[in-house]
């Protein structure tokens, strides 16, 4: 059976930190589905979801084992729909840990076939943060070194 992982997130924007998690995840999984979700606590996106979908697809154009989709349902249900047995997430710090700890437990309550796998951030990418990138971009700063594509 294929090992399929879902990598869910807001990806507003998708960063080199996210790319690193996907590339390292490919050592563990046969397929990774990057799922751009509407986070109910982050209603208003800065980067259009369709633009981000296109940019992420462009980033992984040479990796057929990576696919990209947009979703607005429970992550645990989406995983079941795509036969994904795993959720992939990145961990940068204790704040990420506190949050991830509870969502992974709820996700497993909702779908007991689902395991969440965490990869610790690569140190050189630990400070790469979507919300800071949005601020820099808003005031015309150069964000290109944080992104794996041009925007």
Q: Is 17 in the site for ligand ADP (CB under 6 A)?
A: yes
Among 59, 107, 116, 130, binds ligand ADP (CB under 6 A): 130
Among 18, 35, 79, 111, binds ligand ADP (CB under 6 A): 18
Residues 90-129, interacting with ligand ADP (CB under 6 A): 90, 92, 96, 121, 125, 128
How far is the C-alpha of 148 from the C-alpha of 114, rounded, in Å? 29
Starting at the edge strand found earlier in the chain, the sheet holding 86-91 runs: 66-71, 31-37, 4-9, 86-91, 115-120
How far is the C-alpha of 23 from the C-alpha of 128, rounded, in Å? 16
Q: Are 47 and 131 in contact (CB under 8 A)?
A: no
**Where do contacts with ligand ADP occur on this chain (CB under 6 A)?**
9-11, 15, 17-18, 21, 39, 89-90, 92, 96, 121, 125, 128, 130
Active-site amino acid positions = 18, 42, 92, 130
């Amino acid at each position: 059976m294929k090992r399929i992982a879902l990598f869910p997130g807001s990806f507003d924007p998708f960063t080199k930190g996210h790319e690193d998690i996907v590339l390292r995840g490919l050592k563990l999984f046969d397929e990774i589905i990057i799922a751009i979700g509407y986070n109910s606590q982050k209603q208003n996106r800065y980067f259009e979801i369709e633009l981000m979908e296109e940019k992420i697809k462009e980033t992984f154009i040479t990796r057929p084992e990576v696919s990209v989709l947009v979703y607005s349902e429970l992550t645990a249900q989406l995983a079941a729909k795509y036969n994904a047995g795993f959720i992939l997430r990145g961990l940068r710090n204790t704040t990420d840990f506190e949050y991830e700890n509870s969502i992974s437990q709820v996700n497993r309550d909702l779908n007991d076939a689902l395991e969440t796998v965490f990869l610790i951030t690569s140190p050189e990418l630990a400070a790469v943060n979507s919300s800071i990138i949005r601020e820099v971009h808003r005031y015309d700063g150069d964000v290109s070194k944080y992104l794996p594509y041009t925007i």
